Structure 1
Amino acid sequence: MEEFLRDDSIDLHELSTRSDSSSSTFSEETVLRIPSGDSDDRPLKRFINMPNGTLDPSSDITPGRRAKSPLPPLRLHSESDIDLAALHSGNKDEILSNDIQSGSLDAARAHWIQLYKQNQQQNVIQEVFIYMIRRYPQMRPVWQFSRSLNMKNDNWEHDILRDNTFKHHCASIQAAFTMIMDNLDDEHGLAKLLQQLGAHHFFYDAYEPHLEVFQESLLHALKSVLIDTAEAPDDNLLRAWTRFFVMVKRHINLGISHERKNYLIQCMTSMEMKYVKKVWGQVKEYGLDKAGSICTGIALKTYEELLEKYKIDMAVNLKPDDSDFKKFSIEVIRALEITINFYTIEHGFVHLPSILQEFVSTCLVINVCPTLVRKAFMEGLIGMLIQVLGEPQLSESSAHTWSKVYRVLEQAILSNIVEF
């Protein structure tokens, strides 16, 4: 169960700082929009998903519209709005208008039992992860077994199927599904279990869009693995599986959201914030705009190095001498300042998400690898502080404290992304 979305053998020092600083700032379908210096009525020039993340000079897009991404969009599915477009070649509206019968969960459970009898459970779960790795390359650094994959090798799928870490991870997911199916009749107990699972995985970098990817991958695996077999699902069974996972996802997401709120309230002590505000005073004396440029410059350089290391093509073509770089770096450093200033002893940072709504709606990034973005911007923040303070390095305790400040900002952004 502890490995529902991520195995616990990941080198956290390599890919993130600590669990306190490890959660993704940017979702897979977010957009970087550079605020215009003129009237709010003017269109905002923003990054659309051109090759290598370049800025399209002709892309004056009115506020509120999203640039089209070649990556599959992450749609937030709900029980009342189940996306069956990929499941049915006929009339989508007719499918969406059909009510899901109360026996849908039982149908999914019966199908899972049948897959066990036919020795197909393992094949389905393995295909779930192979599909995610293939279709969403930004997910690869999350797991140890996919981190060093060479996707240009035609035999990469064969290689990963032989990986013991991959097989162990899939076996854990298979066992988790079986346990959920066994407890479907205990609605209250299952809800509590799934919420605890979500709360636990908050500290394993799991957040709501991951569940959207998993749902899409699960439905794909059920269709592709079982095609031309007696267990191949029809539309009704796919609908039952969708309802099943919507239920699972709802409770896991609730656990993640609840733990996020707890983190925002409790993660920092008053003594830690006293230290942070003292150091931030030195940053302000140094110059926020200059500090923002240093932080963003180091972060982008680190991100490019990590992309090369993990062979992922999701670069952001933003150069230090570009005016857009300057605007973005200012927004980033101001967001950090807002984060620090809106701490209260009574409530911590719990009100920060609502305060950062405008920042989130204007400065998001599309087509990046969230895991690597997290690592890169932590390097940028620490590197900036070292330069401002004139020290060779930050102490471990200081770096840990600042990693929590950064993660607070991440979680406030994520809270808004989920509602975006």
Structure 2
Amino acid sequence: MVNTEVSTDTRLPRWLAWYLNIDLAGKEKRERRHQFALNIVALGAFCSASFYVLVYLLYDLRLWPTAFGTAINSIIFVSLPFIYRRSATWTFFWGAIFASLNIVFLTYLMGSATGIFLLLLIVPAVVLLIFGPSRRDFLVISSLTSLAGTVFCVWFTSEPALSAASDALLQKGLMTTSVLSVLLLVVIPSYLGFLRAEVAEDALEAEHARSEALLYNLLPEDIAARLKVEPDQTIADSLPKVAILFADIVDFTPRAASLPPEEVVGFLNKIFRAFDELAEKHGLEKIKTIGDAYMVAAGMPNPCGDPVHRVAEMALDMQSAVEAMAPDFPEGLQVRIGLHAGPAVAGVIGNRKLFYDVWGETVNTASRMESHGEPGRIQVTTAAKEELEDTYEFEQRGTVEVKGIGALETWWLDGAKA
């Protein structure tokens, strides 16, 4: 919640800080904003009206009726924050309607040449600032009251009722200050309103950018773009040729059991961040992490010309990265890697925590290549080996009985040919 309360630790006098903070505590952000705007406007109007009371009395005591009417307005203004905590309707009635009628009365006393009636023009703007656009009834009533009062003053109050108010210097001085007051009281709320709107727009744009970044972190760029165009569509694609790689950290479970939680997370984070960088380098799509297992794919969501070569390069770079990090871990570090290529189905599941995943026999076989592999080695199927044998060295492992699939001939990927 944004704090709109004025601190009493500032250089403001205690009474001023106390007045500006009236009834702010315990309110929601929007209510606090309206209350704070009322407190500021009420204080400003009170000071302005009090100043005019002094001017009238010092200029000519015969202007006491005008001073008295202005003093009534000043009392109304200063009491508005206390009235508002009881009733917004009564606040509106006293602060807008009664004060407007009193301005008409003051114009009658002083004459329209003083420009006092111009203050009626700012009443609807102040009502909008304090009560907000949701109170359209207040805005309409205050606008009609101001319009009617202005028309009355222009047509029926040309000459002042008080003879002392006929002084030309007084008339011009009041007109000047009335115009200046209206200008300030229009410009300042307008400036604050536009400033608030720009701050809100900046916050919305920043939030939108964060949401966009999060969406593109969770989903591939093309998939995220499709969901933005049609949020309710079902994303399900048949992929004719993808290459899947699984990697698993050897002996992670017993190691994690002996470490505090923050070290477990730090351990995985260091390794998987390195893998993320390699996936980006080779143009692969990170699918997910499952515990200490890491899964990436090539050829999805969009087909590519060399998916198997891409995951092979990824696998070899993962081995090199793990070897480089191994000295940082007292118990050493090794991974098992398996890969396979073939057709698959991919899509987005869920409606709250969206998840892009891939399914099919190709995925199951790649997973089995990892789980039936050996630490520090890359196990591949014959299908993957046949696509890579022109540029990579292989060592035949032989036939492996794979759970849920049966007997498969597999190979160890040793590296690129010289």
Q: Same fold (TM over 0.5)?
A: no
Structure number with bigger Rg: 2
Higher strand share: 2
Q: Which has the higher contact order (CA 8 A, sep 6+)?
A: 1
Q: Please, what TM-score do these two structures have when normalized by structure 2?
A: 0.21
Q: Please, what TM-score do these two structures have when normalized by structure 1?
A: 0.21
